[in-house]
Amino acid sequence: MGKRAGKYLSLSGLDTATKSREELIEIFNDLMSNGIHGLCFSLYEDGQVPGDQISEEQVRRRIGIIAPYSKWVRSFSCTEGNEFIPKIAKEFGLKTLVGAWLGSDEEKNAAEIQGLKKLTEEGLVDIAAIGNEVMYREDLTEEQLLTYLFDFKKDFPENTDGLC
């Protein structure tokens, strides 16, 4: 079991354990009809996994499903088709929190950071997230993560208020 076992919905403000199925469905429908502030977006369909190359058409189709119900979309990578997410999200009028997925592979990390920089230069990034789970997974040291953050900030000093 993961480090977050038992933490599901802990930040939702709802005690879902006391709600019936019908009450949960009603809460869900109210949320959807009023719109959600933002969604963590997965572009994968059944049978696909990180590492699979995803098409722009697939991203467009999946963003089209969520766009009527959200104002923001959060992506987790800038490679393998994930780079289409911010562009298409903007076409649908959504704001973007764009993540660069970092791990222990320096070559892949460089591609992620380069992808994030390109998307930022194109005006497609409202908030950038760099290696947000890398310390949790213990893939990089704090010093290594800070190097990636400072490298990004050096190229975008005017835009670092939205860097997380």
pLDDT tens digit string along 55-64?
999 999 999 9
Q: Are the C-beta atoms of residues 84 and 63 closer than 8 Å to each other?
A: no
Asked whether residue 49 is domain-assigned, the answer is yes
Q: How much is the average pLDDT of 142-159?
A: 89
- pLDDT at position 160 is 55
In-domain check, residue 53:
yes
**Structural domain of residue 93, as residue ranges?**
37-162
Helix, strand, coil tally for the chain in percent (to 5): 45, 15, 40
CA distances from 163 to 18, 34, 138 (A): 38, 28, 21
Bridge partners, 75 (sequence order): 98
101 domain-assigned? yes
Judge whether 158 lies within some domain. yes
| Backbone torsions φ then ψ of 36, nearest 5 degrees | -105, 145
What six digits make up the tokens of 23? 């009450």
Question: How many domains in the chain?
Answer: 1
110-146 pLDDT, tens digit per residue, is 999 999 999 999 999 999 999 988 989 999 999 999 9
pTM of the model as a whole: 0.78
Which of 107, 93, 92, 27 has the alpha carbon at shortest distance from 60?
A: 92
Is residue 3 included in any domain, yes or no?
Answer: no
